[in-house]
A and B are shown apart, each in its own frame.
Chain A
Amino acid sequence: MDLSLSTRTEGDRTIVEVGGEIDVYTAPRLREQLVDLVADGKYHLVVDMERVDFLDSTGLGVLVGGLKRVRAHDGSLRLVCTQERILKIFRITGLTKVFPIHASVDEAVGATE
């Protein structure tokens, strides 16, 4: 399944809903989306990964890159994910310590620093 991307705004948060596979082939599109949002002044991002079927280290790299970009503007990047197979990759790489991971978009939107 290919990558699908859509964005919407809730207050000062921008929600990026990602679906399909984030891998070495599709990751550049997600990178571009995050770069564009930050260039647009959107510094508080919530990446909803509930519809992601596959994520590899290339995808992790893009998320880390996004985190760096928003942090440069005192922003935040929160993830929404409850899928065990995706969470496992964050745990293996230790990135659970880097990204706040929430069980729902509402929880992520309501979270404060």
Chain B
Amino acid sequence: MATVELRFSALPAHVRTARLVAAAVARRSGVDEGVLDEVRLAVGEACSRAVHLHRRHCPDRPVLVTLVDDTDAFRVAVTDEAPAEPGGGEGFGALTDVADLVDAEAVPPGVGLAVIAGLVDDVSVEPGRDSGLVVRMTWPTT
């Protein structure tokens, strides 16, 4: 089991850094080439969400991305430390009606998670140790 950890300041530019690193480690772990776009997008969505929340609540705290090359799987965990937003309505079911999106000034925070859920078969969202969420995503490797 080999691990790469990336801890980055909550800056939009570093979401791209995280995507690049995730894709590189995924490729090295043996994730199918055809799935790398999916890894890039899903990790990017999870990191964008974390950066957005950190900038609002705890801009000095870094976002943590853990990339694990396991025996038969590539595992990613994106951990944020932001407090839960009251009535944030985040979750995989948040995007219930496209009309919600068109009426909103910006994409609601749940959309990033909805995209991840639509892309990744093996995904879970859990509360973090003290605050925030851990988005875990797993892809099979060959």
Contact = CB atoms under 8 A, between A and B. Distances in A.
Instruction: Give the interface SS of chain B, mostly helix, strand, loop or mixed.
Output: helix
Interface in B11-62: 12-13, 15-16, 19, 37, 40-41, 44-45, 48, 51-52
Most B C-beta atoms less than 10 A away, residue of A23, A60, A88, A89: A23
Interface string A27-70: 00000000000000000000000000010111011001101100
A97 B101 CA distance: 12
Contacts, number: 75
A60 B15 contact: no
A65 to B, nearest CB: 7
A57 B45 contact: yes
A98 B102 contact: yes
Contact of B111 (A54, A67, A93, A98): A93
Instruction: Give the interface SS of chain A, mostly helix, strand, loop or mixed.
Output: helix
Contacts of A88: 119
B121 interface: no
Nearest to A63: B107
A92 B104 contact: no
